[in-house]
Amino acid sequence: MHAGQVVAKLREAEAALDHSPHAEALSEIAGLAATIAEQHVDGHIGALLPKPLLEGKKPVRDREVLRVAIAVVLIAGGFVGLAFLGLPDMATVAAETAWAVLILMAFFGSNWARYLPVFELFKPGP
């Protein structure tokens, strides 16, 4: 719960960049990051930011596992759909790769390459 509240506070500070003077908003973000780093170094993982800063913050939910699962299902579904097109093997492999990369990019944005190990799920068996 604490980690979700910390994320909510950081997102709030980041959103201030859109409507507050940049120097002020960046100063707040830097202060939060410094506090989190200090607490982490001191081993206070469950107290990265002081409680008063987190009061009233609804914890952000971590949906990464759900996004990975949906991406895997969509990739697999695309592979099955491509198999019905009757394309040559080389074209099918290229289309499957493009499909998988597009799905990863759609779900994970600029961090899509971090999820390339998902391809290991689709390797042919021994």
User: How is the chain split into domains, by residue range?
Assistant: 2-54, 64-122
Cβ count within 10 A of residue 77: 12
- pLDDT computed for residue 78 by the predictor: 94
Structure tokens at 18: 């859109």
Task: State the pTM of this model.
Answer: 0.59
Q: Kindly indicate the confidence band of residue 125, based on its pLDDT and cuts at 50, 70 and 90.
A: low
Residue 72 vs residue 25, higher pLDDT: 72
pLDDT per residue as tens digits for the range 68-123: 999 999 999 999 999 999 999 999 999 999 999 999 999 999 889 898 888 788 77
Plot region of 19 (φ>0 → left; ψ -120 to 50 → alpha; else → beta): alpha
